[in-house]
Structure 1
Amino acid sequence: MLVRLFGSNFRSIKEPFELSLLAADLTRKEDCNRGTIAVPISGMAEPLHLLRTLGIYGPNASGKSSLLVAANALRWLARESSPRSKPDGRIAPYEPFLLDDKTKNAPTELGCDVVFKKSLLRYEIKLTSKVIQAELLTLIDKDGEHRLIERNASGEVKGHLIAESEANRLYVSEMQPNVAVLSKLAQHGPRKGKSSVVPYYNAILNATHHEDYHDAALEMIKLGDSSADDKFADDLQYREWIMHHIIQKADIGIAGVRTRRESFKVPASIRESLMKSGFPGKIPDTRVVVEFLHAGVKSGAINFSEESAGTKKLYNIASQWWAMANREITLFADELSASLHPRLLDRLVRAVNDPPSEKMRSQLIFATHDTGLLESQDGLPPALRRDQVYFTKKSAQGATEVYSLTEFKEDARGVHNIRKRYLSGLYGALPSVEKLSL
């Protein structure tokens, strides 16, 4: 589970930012007992209360996606930098703020705090286009802070995991400057035992899942990452969960589904683009074809390519909602609300924020323009608590500013007027449209 994501000088974000999943001490009765996960931490008298969801609002191009991509950049550095970085190659996630001469070649800094068993784990990394200048993996428990990995600007690597393992020392003795130590040890170091980095590595990966749900991606089932499609075709229990909990519950007239596999030739232009981007593994030559069975006067199957954008979107998000229900992950979702009715989006968010069981311990962080999540519906409080709302806006210098709704003092009356207050401009983070005309 994610406790916080932080960093600076990344994409449109110039100054230090922080997304905190720590729940605020809210006084409204309808807020104080929902939307949080109680996490016991060794040495703490009270459990840590972490938010289940967090929504990010702001104008177009204000930096909402940059916050989500920051998590994906951390994930890439931890998972992909060792197998995919070429000697002297550019570090793919290095995207500094370009509108200032002082920052456009300066280091990017990214980091996260995550839950590890009954302790906290912090991962921090500082990088330029071709060099990782610093990297820290720190375990924080009742006995204090323990540096598991410590890499300095000279490239020297120290820390408990290195000192206690001859194998780890061997692997870090010759480090490529553009490869993260965490990634290299997870790929090549000990798989088990006290000197293994794998448990810490998995905790960071589980807290940084990222999905981009732009409409352009809805026209075809994901290429190359067909694990969800294969699972849908081969795993009856999984397929029935998707149909029962997501697809059919959306009331879109679907009575059933059938799947088949067919040969699939990737167009040469797409294949070339994938290879240039460092596509991992073999490009597939078959794909799963999904056909939903629609009820009507004349029932029949409709090919996935002919389904509505909303139905495609539901299918494409379903695997992540299954993962959140059955595993313990943090999902960063971009363009989640695209092609979904506001009422359906509201229920999808509530499914995560108000799960049927406390055993469900996943988190959802998403960017949206849907202000309906900020007001009550059907006699229920807003889908999002006040501390689950963040805003982004651009400064006069073109840099993203990130702030939380909790920074605004509110009274404790049970009046759900967050949407009205936001749209009135009280919180800022609104597009300037006054001069827009034909």
Structure 2
Amino acid sequence: MLVEFRVKNFRSLRDEQVLSLVASSDKTLQDTNTLGTGLKVAPALLSSAIVYGANASGKSNLIKALQYMRGVVLESATVVQPGQTFAVQPFRLDPCTAGQPTEFEVTFILNGMRYQYGFAMTAQQIVSEHLLVYKAFKPQRWFDRHFDENTDRDIYDFGQGLKGTKNLWESATRPNALFLSMAVQLNSEALRPVFDWFAHSLVIFDEQTRLAPHTSIQMLKQSEHRKRICDFLAAADLSIADIEVVTRKVPGQSVHFDLVTGKSEVRSEEMEQHQLRFSHVTERGEAVFDLMDESNGTRNLLFLAGPVLDILKKGLTLVIDELDTSLHTLLVRELVRLFHRPQANTGGAQLIFTTHDTSLLDAPGLFRRDQVWLVEKDSDQASSLVALSEFSPRKNEALERGYLMGRYGGVPFLGDMAEPKH
């Protein structure tokens, strides 16, 4: 479960911004909208968080920052080559930050243990990296790495909690690779859970990683999962009684790379092609439709159904930029409520998403005040992230009206678009 995400000097996020999933002491919707951790320092985490902001306010940059951090963890030791630079983008409208490192840190709970991992980087290299592990209330510093400009090399400080061939991992870690990632590549069992959390427990959908039908299609091939997906869609009042997957072999091509000769070869081989057939049933009749006959909203909901059902079962963290795209507001509400229902969210999953749908703010029993976050830019074009609870709104306050009036920030300041500028 995600506890907290910190980012500094990434795109419009100039100053350090903190997205916290730690539940406040408010008892409102505690049984549905919070998840127990068993830890004294953070006894409950929020099962969802919603982020509002005007266009170009920086709310998507928050998602991009988490996505970028995940990418560096997964690829710096394998995909990134020696001497290759990163495409990281610091805040460029301030000369003081344009040349400074970009910083990321996440805190998460896995198997009852709290991990706090972060790093700072420039386009050329990793300048610092650290990992704290809380087996008890007091943290253990497993490793700390920082670049020493005087000696032009990385300095490492290892704690007793980290077991394994640390000197080997250190010597193998390039300036443009994370120690965490390289150690896992060299079979560090102790660090594997941290790496795997990024790889498997954090699921992000945005403009870089779009929804794809693969997961839903694979689940539709199994009768038990097919029923769950059809029930999921039926709850959205889509009149879909069943979905058939018709698979056939079609000619295709694949590229094979020879690691010995370094040459690539294009081979012809059969590939699988899947066709979805939707059975609609109403009181007046029934019909079968292809995927392209369905609306964008139905397709998006289908593509979401597989991943969401899997995430709820496994207790993963799902992050989505613009969840309301092509989805009716009532569908968004029902999707959010799945994460709030203990009988559906059996694994302790979390949902974080950005949206422009202000009607969600006043949906009865949908969100607590500490689940709502607002992003806005200042006169320097730097984005700031603030929790709605910081404004101490009253229990019965009309949040949508207050938000649109600019009481909490996070809305655009509109001039007269028809008025010519001189």
Q: What's the TM-score bracket when you normalise by the shorter of the two chains?
A: 0.7 to 0.9
Write the letter of the residue equivalent to 2:324.
S
Please name the residue that 1:390 is paired with: 373
What CA RMSD, in Å, does the superposition of the two structures yield over aligned residues? Answer: 2.8
1:159 equivalent in alignment to 2:158: yes
Q: Which residue of 1 aligns with 2:66?
A: 71
With 18-27 and 337-346 compared, the bigger mean Cα shift is at 18-27
Given candidates 396, 408, 413, the residue that maps to 2:391 is 408
Q: Is the 8 A contact 1:53 1:365 kept in 2?
A: yes
Structure 1 letter corresponding to 2:114 = L
| C-alpha separation in 2, matches of 1:8 and 1:57 | 19
What's 1:3 paired with? 3
TM-score for the superposition, normalised by structure 2? 0.86
Distance 1:251 1:230 in 2: 21
Matches of 2:410 and 2:313, distance apart in 1: 35
Counterpart of 1:181 (choices 176, 179, 182) is: 179
| Structure 1 Cα separation of the partners of residues 251 and 281 of structure 2 | 29
Higher strand share: 2
- Secondary structure at the aligned position of 1:144 is classed as coil
Gaps of 5+ in 2: 148-152, 254-268
Out of 424, 428, 432, the position equivalent to 2:405 is 424
After superposition, the C-alpha distances for 1:226-251 in whole angstroms (9 at most, x for unaligned) are: 4x15523433322221221x222211
- Aligned partners of 1:429, 1:371: CA distance in 2, in Å? 11
Task: Provide Cα deviations, 1:266-319, integer angstroms capped at 9, x if missing partner.
Answer: 9xxxxxxxxxxxxxxxx9954433222223556333221332110111012112
Deviation (angstroms), 1:365: 0.5
Match of 2:306 among 319, 329, 335: 319
Q: Which residue of 1 aligns with 2:290?
A: 303
Q: Distance in 1 between matches of 2:416 and 2:252?
A: 48
Corresponding residue number in structure 1 for 2:339: 352
SS at structure 2 position matched to 1:173: helix
How far, CA to CA, are the matches of 2:19 and 2:315 in structure 1? 19
> Runs of 4 or more off by more than 6 Å in structure 1?
none
Structure 1: distance between partners of 2:290 and 2:401: 42
SS in 2 for 1:164: coil
Larger Rg: 2
Aligned residues: 399
1:139 deviation in Å? 0.4
SS in 2 for 1:66: helix
| Residues in 2 aligned to 1:358 and 1:307: alpha-carbon distance in whole angstroms | 28
Q: Alpha carbons of 1:300 and 1:34: their partners in 2 closer, same or farther (altered >3 Å)?
A: closer
| Change beyond 3 A, Cα 1:229–1:80 | farther
Instruction: Show CA shifts across 1:162-216 (max 9, x none).
Output: 96323x432331212111111122223244xxxx3112322344553211279x9
Deviation per CA, 1:55-114: give whole Å up to 9, x if none. 00010111111111222122112222222111111224x221122222223210000111
TM-score (norm 1): 0.83
For residue 203 of structure 1, give the secondary structure of its aligned residue in structure 2: helix
> Is the contact between residue 9 and residue 15 of structure 1 (CA under 8 Å) also seen in structure 2?
yes
Of all paired residues, the percent bearing the same amino acid is 27
1:288 aligns with 2:271: no
Q: Does the residue aligned with 1:84 lie in a helix, a strand or coil?
A: coil
- Structure 2 residue corresponding to 1:199, chosen from 165, 180, 193: 193
1:28-427 to 2 correspondences below 5 Å: 30-41=28-39, 44=40, 48-92=43-87, 94-142=88-136, 144-153=138-147, 154-160=153-159, 164-166=163-165, 168-191=166-189, 196-206=190-200, 208-212=202-206, 221=212, 226=214, 228-229=215-216, 231-244=218-231, 246-262=232-248, 263=250, 285-295=271-281, 299-356=286-343, 359-376=346-363, 380-381=364-365, 383-411=366-394, 413=395, 415-427=396-408
Cα offset, 1:427, TM superposition? 0.7
Residues 126-135 or 76-85, more deviating: 76-85
Instruction: Give the aligned residue type for 2:287.
Output: G
Q: State the one-letter code of the partner of 2:158.
A: G
